[in-house]
Structure 1
């Protein structure tokens, strides 16, 4: 069926320019490729009921029906690519990836995985909140039996991959420190440094980045790309690792063999990937997801290394590709089939390598970050892939991040070494432009002409 824009345009606050732009994108997008639509539902066992997860004070931590408006054709106010992507990330429940490997998706911004061992279950990346992690474990046990937790694995140092751990382990289990808690080298330090040193500013910026003040609906919040939203009002926890992975070791946990690959300075300063040879399953937690990622997240962080990112993905293909039957991550849905998994990884590798190399070529030719971001276009082989689209990170953001990593914030123009603060500069601009009334009149005309970037800047 040919995709269409919803007929409810008249009720949407979308200008003719936006409607035309979305129609053009709709016609250019590869909607004939239905792999993601199939894979996002594959293996669904059950959804979560009750629909609302609450905190101890009764406040809502997660509502699985909050995004139920995501059905049908994209409305005029939402880019068709984002609408499709959010429809897929909104699919929630317990899923079988392969026998002995299960995931609960759609109960938080991240995905929690359950690997069944000889005596219990190994839990990978226990979400943001204690409440959502406990709900996910409960859903798993309802359908797979009351298996004890035999180990916990953090794949990296971001809160959506460890914050719910005390919903997985009981206080007695935490105190006894008998159950292994496994993490990449440096994970404890990095999780503290990122969330403490600049935590206040990062939290404030994350509120803006994820649109937490927006109402959920087609004229507000439709998703955050990496998931639907992060759980709110829940309890965030941490348990110190009992075992840090410091080399690319192979270890056995509860009868399950793990081949680890350390991937520092990729999506997180401390991160790892792992292969499960008994299951033919490769986990690339957040280094290869179904959207382009951020080399510098808008909430703020250290700039990530695009070159290292591409190199580690290449290493994964070389080490594990020929043995991989399914590829899964801690966001989004899996990719089944050896050829599909290798294609997915090589395209992700090529994306970050291409952005890195082209940015360096252009900055060495004298272009600024802003100029490079306007000039770079992805090759058709990459541009046509749903999983490389800018539903989370984007080419514009990532090019500027690469520039910043190598050259910093200064663009080479001495004027920008000591610019006036925005308020002082703004008052002078308005005066030079003929006063506030004249600026508003001209801005309104530019808005009518669809020149939104300029209107926002003015």
Structure 2
């Protein structure tokens, strides 16, 4: 079964083939259409063959770049003429230095690198926050090394643009246009003669990563608008950076409409409650995506989740104050924890109650009590172990990678 056949079966028949089938990362090579290929990686490396050389769309992580280069050499025997960054995240740009080094070893000029103008600013920010990004990526992904390469030797764009760019390489025309969504520097790549749209991370076969609690601002309304723009182009091929490619104008339109509808609903419902004066606490416990949408195989909350997107909508339109005046200038967490523990009869009582609530299924409240107990008296017998047990149970019951990573980190005594 080809990648396109697999995606059609999953979408049309609702067949659950598992995440490994939906998200191939095995370094395999596939020609999806004439002169269009994919190397399946942590973030895929897409390529378009032209008379002058290859256009590589993203370069994946450093570990995958040599694999991709080997496949591309054997595919057409053409050099990589141009690299297009769909955005500046490490798993999309991290392999670029290997592409540059390969060109140098072959005695060729380095590929031109094309990206939105905000990519350079992203690299500057990463350089300022290297240690922070290493910390949160270890927490988020749960394993050191996969996303741990934040350096100051980025392969920066040689050509950038603001809104749209007509790019021609070897007689092949590609249209680049800017979008906001997971990032502020996203580029969509349109290959008109194939009616193929390279979507980067604007479609990822998960609920959109528009709420990541440890990363900078995301843009859910703009993300939905970008998906509507893709639908208007009527692509015959949708080629994302994560997950399977999709074929068929109607199928693509249906999938993108579902994703856009989910995001638009969160934005509309959150803003309605904000405009009515609701607090953030009220909104995150009331705004929901309809169950029929969340059940779609390409909208499961396996990476990000709607509750986190609601928080990002609040942050985008309302700032960081959540509407609770006690949290405008709060007492230190440890002071609050100590006072609550005193009222409860001690940190051990709080921790014991947290275990009981955990066993009863109230994990939200259990985590709060366990955290207070540990902050109030970390040296009290059994407190840290009980806290770890509560967070471990919470981790095991979560679906999204974001939640599981944070709770797994918290479950370590």
Tell me whether the two structures share a fold, i.e. TM-score over 0.5. Answer: yes
**How far off is 1:435 after superposition?**
0.9
- For residues 364-405 of structure 1, the C-alpha deviation after alignment (integer angstroms, 9 at most, x for no partner) is 223222321221222355233221221111111001110111
- For residues 423-453 of structure 1, the C-alpha deviation after alignment (integer angstroms, 9 at most, x for no partner) is 2221221111111232232222222212222
SS in 1 for 2:163: coil
1:301-340 correspondence runs (5 A): 301=216, 303-318=217-232, 320-321=233-234, 324-340=235-251
**1:141 maps to which residue?**
73
1:23-422 correspondence runs (5 A): 38-39=6-7, 84-90=18-24, 92=26, 93-106=28-41, 109-129=42-62, 131-142=63-74, 144-170=75-101, 173=104, 179-193=111-125, 195-212=126-143, 230=146, 238-263=154-179, 265-301=180-216, 303-318=217-232, 320-321=233-234, 324-422=235-333
CA distance in 2, matches of 1:290, 1:431: 48
1:145–1:232 CA distance, 2 compared to 1 (3 A)? farther
CA distance in 2, matches of 1:111, 1:325: 19
The CA RMSD over aligned residues, in Å, is 2.9
Is the 1:164–1:236 contact (alpha carbons within 8 Å) kept by the matching residues of 2?
A: no
1:37–1:371 CA distance, 2 compared to 1 (3 A)? farther
Q: Which has the higher helix share?
A: 2
**How far off is 1:119 after superposition?**
3.3
Is the 1:261–1:272 contact (alpha carbons within 8 Å) kept by the matching residues of 2?
A: yes
Runs (4 or more) in structure 1 with deviation over 6 Å come to 233-236
> Normalised by the size of structure 2, how large is the TM-score?
0.80
- For residues 293-339 of structure 1, the C-alpha deviation after alignment (integer angstroms, 9 at most, x for no partner) is 222323321x1222222222222222x11xx1110111111111111
- For residues 123-142 of structure 1, the C-alpha deviation after alignment (integer angstroms, 9 at most, x for no partner) is 1110121x421122113334
Is the 1:447–1:455 contact (alpha carbons within 8 Å) kept by the matching residues of 2?
A: yes
- For residues 50-100 of structure 1, the C-alpha deviation after alignment (integer angstroms, 9 at most, x for no partner) is xxxxxxxxxxxxxxxxxxxxxxxxxxxxxxx8x932553245211222121
CA distance in 2, matches of 1:259, 1:305: 22
SS in 1 for 2:18: helix
1:247–1:435 CA distance, 2 compared to 1 (3 A)? closer
CA distance in 2, matches of 1:344, 1:243: 32
Is the 2:60–2:94 contact (alpha carbons within 8 Å) kept by the matching residues of 1?
A: yes
Unaligned runs of 5+ in 2: 11-15, 370-413
CA distance in 2, matches of 1:158, 1:190: 8
CA distance in 2, matches of 1:329, 1:401: 23
Is the 1:292–1:388 contact (alpha carbons within 8 Å) kept by the matching residues of 2?
A: yes
Is the 2:100–2:110 contact (alpha carbons within 8 Å) kept by the matching residues of 1?
A: no
1:236–1:293 CA distance, 2 compared to 1 (3 A)? farther
CA distance in 1, matches of 2:78, 2:196: 21
1:41–1:126 CA distance, 2 compared to 1 (3 A)? farther
Is the 2:86–2:115 contact (alpha carbons within 8 Å) kept by the matching residues of 1?
A: yes
Higher RCO (C-alpha 8 Å, min separation 6)? 1
**How far off is 1:412 after superposition?**
2.1
User: Size of the alignment, in residue pairs?
Assistant: 361
1:236–1:338 CA distance, 2 compared to 1 (3 A)? farther
**How far off is 1:414 after superposition?**
1.7
**1:226 maps to which residue?**
none
CA distance in 2, matches of 1:110, 1:134: 14
Is the 1:294–1:397 contact (alpha carbons within 8 Å) kept by the matching residues of 2?
A: no
CA distance in 1, matches of 2:8, 2:335: 50
Unaligned runs of 5+ in 1: 1-34, 43-80, 214-228
**2:382 maps to which residue?**
none
CA distance in 2, matches of 1:437, 1:352: 43
